[in-house]
Amino acid sequence: MPRERSISVPTQKRDVPKNDHDQYVDAALAEEAAVAIEQLEDVVIDVQQTLAERPPQADPGETVSEVAKIVDSPKQRAAQGAAVRAVAKIERATRKRR
């Protein structure tokens, strides 16, 4: 009767040398952070465009109100959330390596 052989499937961490795995994680985290930064930059551009479109004699209260709408928009909240998550992931990865 032939002997059965067990097949082991290596996990991703064992399959990739530690330094390479760290570089892979770093690249993924850097890309996620870059996307979050781009989203925040889009919000800043929206604010700058709103301010540039306002005539100099415009009511300051209306200008503040328009900027507040942008700052409190779902787009801004999503960008801020993405940035916070990216920073948290980077901090966790850094702590794990210590």
Domain-located, residue 5: no
- Is residue 2 in some structural domain? no
Asked if residue 49 is part of any domain, the answer here is yes
Compute the average pLDDT of residues 31-56: 90
Cα–Cα dist 16/39, whole Å: 32
Local confidence band at 7 (pLDDT 50, 70, 90 cut-offs): very low
**Residue 6 lies inside a defined structural domain of this protein:** no
pLDDT band at 55 (very low <50, low <70, confident <90, very high): confident
Helix (H) or strand (E) holding 55, with range, is none
Count how many domains the chain has. 1
Q: Is the pLDDT of residue 93 over 50?
A: yes
Whether 7 is covered by a domain: the verdict is: no
Could you tell me if residue 76 is inside a domain? yes
Positive/negative CA dihedral, 68, 72, 75, 77? positive
User: Which residue carries 């301010």 as its tokens?
Assistant: 51
Domain of 68, in residue numbers: 17-97
What pTM was estimated for this model as a whole?
Answer: 0.65
Q: Which residue has the higher pLDDT, 64 or 10?
A: 64
Where do the H-state alpha helices sit in the chain? Answer: 12-15, 18-53, 60-71, 74-97
